Chains A and B, each alone.
Chain A
Amino acid sequence: MSIPTATGPAGQGTSRPGFAHPEPAAEAGPAGGLRAAIASGRFVVTAELGPPRDANADAITRKAGFLRGWVDAANVTDCQGAKVKLSSLAGSVLARAAGVEPVMQLTCRDRNRIGLQSDLLGAAALGIPNVLLLTGDHPRFGDHPEAKPVFDLDGVQLTWAARTLRDGTLMSGQRLEHPPTWLIGTVENPFAPPTSFRARRLAKKVAAGAEFVQTQYVFDVERFAAWMAEVCALGIPRHCAVIAGVGPIRSLRVLEMLTTGVPGIYVPDEVGRRLRGVPAGKVESEGISLCVETIQQVAGIPGVRGVHVMAFGFERGVPDILERAGVGPRASLASVPEGGGHAH
């Protein structure tokens, strides 16, 4: 399968007209955020920003404060792990207000095609510049396992639907007078079976309209490089920026959880041996070093356009990780004041 030559209505690449709402001043993310970063060809940095399980807006403001100036954009997750959190749409608005360009995640788990399209339109109207579309975790793993799993669309279809909206129609075919303009992102897991199909599955999402993709945690760089070779052979990087997912394993407890408890995450034995091989007090720093090394390694793999740092609950450590990896602060927001962004 080959990839179409244009990436959607953004076929004109990145020379899209401005967003429905102008960026609120310079604080809304460095130099145009993710779209501009991808277009410029420089190393892209995104991070995860998990909303709280309550109605505390400050929790987002605080986390955004750690990331501000260090990332091109931050993903605001959509009830990750199928656990109820403050909505990704509200979280995206809050992150933006706190000076971090949001990537609004949207999963197929909780909404049918009416709800999904509605939220996508709402995001555009509120000036959310990026959306990330994924299938989503099954409620089985969440805090409401008794919930109805919706999955009216799958991740590929939702990506396709977003492209359809941006092309100017609803899935029903009704015209949109003001179509959305966000950048369309998606996810892929290079490590889950069937390995023969993973790059092709991403190719389907790119054909459906994805312009950037963030991968599952990379702990096995060799396997990731092999997958990237397939991705490049399919021509994907010409149409879609591939951003490698990374994150620090900061304790043996987390290692254990990632190894056994989280679907789709693959931690090779070697990583386990390395973390278990250091004194208990050193596990955290070893895990962080490992993450730093991973960033440096994936940055050298052909086709990789950047990293996506997933450090749930450890947003404060992201700047340090990036700095040690040699990925400097973003653009003009180089100087983040000490403790800047602390709401409390």
Chain B
Amino acid sequence: MSDSAASGWPRPARPRLAARSAYALHALVAPRKPYRWLAARIERHALLRRWFTAGERVTKQQLFGCQMCGQCALPATGYACPMTCPKQLRNGPCGGVSPTGQCEVHPQLRCVWLIAVERAEQAGHSADLDLLQRPVDRRETGRSSWVNYWQGRDEDLWAAATENEPAPLLPRAPAGAPR
């Protein structure tokens, strides 16, 4: 996963953190007041923000092959990063997965969505995969998704399609204060 930049196209990354651990860890960092306060502070200070973002980048790159899209889908994808799919599909695998489960673009690698489905199913989070993932806001690329998450900006990253139809594909809420 570390050579993802060199290879040009994103490469499916097999997470180094077990799905169960990832879900457990999530509970610890779920948004709450101290985190919101911290995120606001981080965002205000350029240096702090740079260091915090660098820390997030290193950690998540090592664990998930993070591409720093700034709007983390991991909690809804079995903690396998869909942005490591060469087509960066956020709603499930493309139709080109080989019968043995290999990525069509990187035939030596397993499709990251297969990994995601397996992990989500094992951890009892299979229903997450039915969520409709909204388009990525490309302005967030390179920014800290944790800071966004703690400030509640990720709340409409996906929509349930269970009852009514999904709402019109309106833009996500403005991505917050100037940065």
Contact = CB atoms under 8 A, between A and B. Distances in A.
Interface stretch (B16-24, B25-33, B61-69, B161-169): B161-169
B103 to A, nearest CB: 9
B88 A201 contact: no
B87 A207 contact: no
Given A194-B113, A194-B114, A138 B129 contact: no
Interface in A101-125: 108, 113
A164 B168 contact: yes
B87 A193 contact: no
Contacts of B130: 1, 200, 203-204
Interface residues of A, number: 50
Contact of A164 (B105, B129, B169): B169
Given A156-B92, A160-B169, A204-B161, A192 B97 contact: yes
A133 interface: no
B93 interface: yes
Interface stretch (A48-56, A86-94, A145-153, A302-310): A145-153
B132 A156 contact: yes
Contacts of B96: 137-138, 189, 192, 263-264
Contacts of A156: 91-92, 132-133
Contacts of B171: 171-173
B161 to A, nearest CB: 3
Given A188-B95, A197-B92, A266-B99, A208 B161 contact: yes
A110 to B, nearest CB: 12
Contact of B117 (A141, A194, A207): A194
Nearest to A7: B165
Contact of B87 (A138, A141, A191, A203): A138
Chain B interface SS verdict (over half): loop
Contacts of A151: 87-89
Contact of A169 (B121, B132, B168): B168
Interface of A: 1-4, 6, 8, 108, 113, 135, 137-138, 140-141, 149, 151-157, 160-161, 163-164, 167, 169, 171-173, 187-189, 191-194, 196-197, 200-201, 203-204, 207-209, 216, 263-264, 266
**Which 8 interchain pairs have the tightest Cβ spacing?**
A189-B95, A263-B96, A207-B161, A156-B91, A263-B104, A1-B130, A164-B169, A4-B165
Interface of B: 9, 86-101, 104-105, 111, 113-114, 117-118, 121, 127, 129-130, 132-136, 138, 161-166, 168-171
17 contacts: A1-B161, A1-B162, A4-B164, A135-B89, A138-B87, A140-B86, A140-B104, A140-B105, A154-B89, A173-B171, A189-B95, A191-B99, A192-B97, A194-B113, A196-B117, A197-B113, A263-B95
